[in-house]
Chain A
Amino acid sequence: MKDQTLKQQITEMATRYPASRSAVMPALHLAQAHYGYLTQDAMAEVAEYLHLPRVTVLEIATFYSLFHTRRVGKYHLQLCTNLSCMLLGAERLQRQLEQQLDIRCGETTADGRFTLTAVECLGACEMAPVMQLNDDYCGHLNEQRLAEMLQTLQ
Chain B
Amino acid sequence: MYEQVLLLERRDSEYQDLAGYRLAGGYSALGSTLRDSSPEQLIDLVKEAKLRGRGGAGFPTGLKWSFVPKGNASAKWLLCNADEGEPGTFKDRIIMEQTPHLLLEGMTLAAYAIGAAKAYIYIRGEYVTAIRRLEREIQASLQAGLLGKNILGSGFDLDIYVHRGAGAYICGEETALIESLEGKRGQPRFKPPFPAVSGFYKGPTVVNNVETLACVPPIVQRGADWFRSIGSEKCPGPKLYCLSGHVRRPGLYELPMGISLRELVEQHAGGTHSGKKIKAVIPGGISAALLPEPALDVAMDFDALSAAGTMLGSAGVIVMDESTCMVRVAHRIIEFFHHESCGKCTPCREGLAWVEQMLGRIEAGEAKSGDLESMERLYGNIEGNTFCLLGDAAAMALRGVVKNFRHEFIERIQQGGRAA
Q: Is the CB of A123 within 8 A of B126?
A: yes
Q: Is the CB of B182 within 8 A of A87?
A: no
Cβ of B127 under 8 Å from chain A = yes
- CB < 8 Å: which of A65, A66, A86, A123 contacts B332? A86
Q: Is the CB of B316 within 8 A of A66?
A: no
Interface hub of B92, B167, B243, B320 (most chain A Cβ within 10 A): B167
Q: Is the CB of B245 within 8 A of A84?
A: yes
Q: Which residues of A contact B181 (CB under 8 A)?
A: 22
Cβ of A23 under 8 Å from chain B = yes
Chain A proximity mask over B64-101: 1 for CB below 8 Å, otherwise 0: 00000000000100000000111111101100000000
Do A126 and B90 form a contact, CB below 8 Å, given A83-B318, A121-B85?
Answer: yes
Cβ of B251 under 8 Å from chain A = yes
Do A125 and B165 form a contact, CB below 8 Å, given A66-B125, A84-B318?
Answer: no
Cβ of A72 under 8 Å from chain B = no
Q: How far is the CB of B314 from chain A (nearest CB, A)?
A: 10
- CB < 8 Å: which of B87, B169, B185 contacts A59? B185
Interface hub of A64, A125, A132, A135 (most chain B Cβ within 10 A): A125
Cβ of B59 under 8 Å from chain A = no
Interface hub of A22, A56, A121 (most chain B Cβ within 10 A): A121
Do A65 and B166 form a contact, CB below 8 Å, given A22-B183, A121-B85?
Answer: yes
Cβ of A21 under 8 Å from chain B = yes
Q: Which residues of B contact A70 (CB under 8 A)?
A: none
A 1-52 contacts with B by CB, 8 A: 16, 18-19, 21-26, 28-29, 52
Q: Which segment, of B12-20, B213-221, B333-341, faces chain A?
A: B333-341
Q: Is the CB of B183 within 8 A of A25?
A: yes
A123 and B166 CA atoms in complex are apart in Å by 14
Q: Which residues of A contact B201 (CB under 8 A)?
A: 18-19
Q: Is the CB of A87 within 8 A of B320?
A: yes
Chain B proximity mask over A48-69: 1 for CB below 8 Å, otherwise 0: 0000100010011001111100
Do A16 and B126 form a contact, CB below 8 Å, given A120-B87, A123-B90, A125-B242?
Answer: no
A 112-140 contacts with B by CB, 8 A: 120-128, 132, 135-136
Q: Which residues of A contact B340 (CB under 8 A)?
A: 120
A 82-113 contacts with B by CB, 8 A: 82-84, 86-88
Do A87 and B165 form a contact, CB below 8 Å, given A121-B88, A124-B90?
Answer: no
Cβ of B286 under 8 Å from chain A = yes
Q: Is the CB of A123 within 8 A of B329?
A: no
Chain A proximity mask over B294-305: 1 for CB below 8 Å, otherwise 0: 000000000000
Cβ of B188 under 8 Å from chain A = no
Q: Which residues of B contact A23 (CB under 8 A)?
A: 183
Instruction: Name B162's closest neighbour in chain A (CB-CB).
Output: A26
Q: Which residues of A contact B250 (CB under 8 A)?
A: 125-128
Cβ of B368 under 8 Å from chain A = no
Do A66 and B183 form a contact, CB below 8 Å, given A18-B75, A83-B87, A120-B87?
Answer: no
Q: Which residues of B contact A56 (CB under 8 A)?
A: 183
Do A123 and B124 form a contact, CB below 8 Å, given A84-B87, A86-B332?
Answer: yes
Q: Is the CB of B166 within 8 A of A28?
A: yes
Q: Is the CB of B169 within 8 A of A120?
A: yes
A70 and B170 CA atoms in complex are apart in Å by 23
Do A63 and B163 form a contact, CB below 8 Å, given A22-B181, A126-B90?
Answer: no
Q: Is the CB of A25 within 8 A of B245?
A: no
A53 and B37 CA atoms in complex are apart in Å by 47
Q: Which residues of A contact B246 (CB under 8 A)?
A: 87-88
Q: Is the CB of A121 within 8 A of B183?
A: no
B 302-350 contacts with A by CB, 8 A: 316, 318, 320, 324, 328-329, 332-333, 336, 339-340
A121 and B169 CA atoms in complex are apart in Å by 10
Chain A proximity mask over B116-132: 1 for CB below 8 Å, otherwise 0: 00000000111110000
Interface hub of A28, A87, A123 (most chain B Cβ within 10 A): A123
- CB < 8 Å: which of A24, A60, A82, A127 contacts B336? A82
Chain A proximity mask over B239-250: 1 for CB below 8 Å, otherwise 0: 000111110001
Cβ of B365 under 8 Å from chain A = no
User: Known pairs A64-B186, A82-B332, A86-B328. 8 more at Cβ < 8 A?
Assistant: A64-B167, A65-B166, A83-B245, A83-B286, A84-B318, A87-B246, A123-B92, A135-B128
A selection of 26 A-B contacts at a CB cut-off of 8 Å is A16-B161, A25-B163, A25-B183, A26-B164, A60-B184, A64-B166, A65-B167, A65-B168, A67-B166, A67-B167, A82-B286, A82-B336, A83-B286, A83-B333, A84-B88, A84-B318, A87-B318, A88-B245, A121-B85, A121-B336, A123-B89, A125-B89, A125-B318, A126-B243, A126-B250, A132-B126
A interface with B by C-beta (< 8 Å): 16, 18-19, 21-26, 28-29, 52, 56, 59-60, 63-67, 81-84, 86-88, 120-128, 132, 135-136
